[in-house]
Amino acid sequence: MSLPIVFPLGLAALLFGIGLWGALTRTNAVRILMFIEIMLNGVNLNLMTFSRYYWQQDEVMASRAPIIALFIMTVAAAEASVGLAIILNVVRNRGVIDVDKVDLLKG
């Protein structure tokens, strides 16, 4: 018995929606990075779902989907490390983590 495609796609859409909502409404920089990670997890779930249900007969795409997902996870890890380094530098210089109060790039 196979799981209907609606369930993983619905979960992926829910993850992406929660991540988008959180990234647009929050002001804490660390929380924004966490919500971006949730969005990327939703994208990976979509990719794996399509790989399982639609690209199963296409051997080329079915073998590339896990590699693409691994690449997305690598980019997400790099984004998190660089983002946290920037946030840590801003906190050291300005003492705030609220993105509305950071004005380092203003002239």
Q: Are 8 and 45 in contact (CB under 8 A)?
A: yes
Start-to-end Cα distance in the chain: 62
On the question of pLDDT at 88 being above 80, the answer is yes
Report the pLDDT value the prediction gives residue 65, as an integer from 0 to 100. 79
Query: pTM for the full model?
Result: 0.81
User: Is residue 58 a part of any domain in this protein?
Assistant: yes
User: Is residue 105 a part of any domain in this protein?
Assistant: no
pLDDT in tens, 14-47: 999 999 999 999 988 889 999 999 999 999 999 8
Q: Which residue shows structure tokens 């249900």?
A: 53
CATH number at residue 36: 1.10.287.3510
User: Is residue 18 a part of any domain in this protein?
Assistant: yes
Domain limits for position 51? 6-94
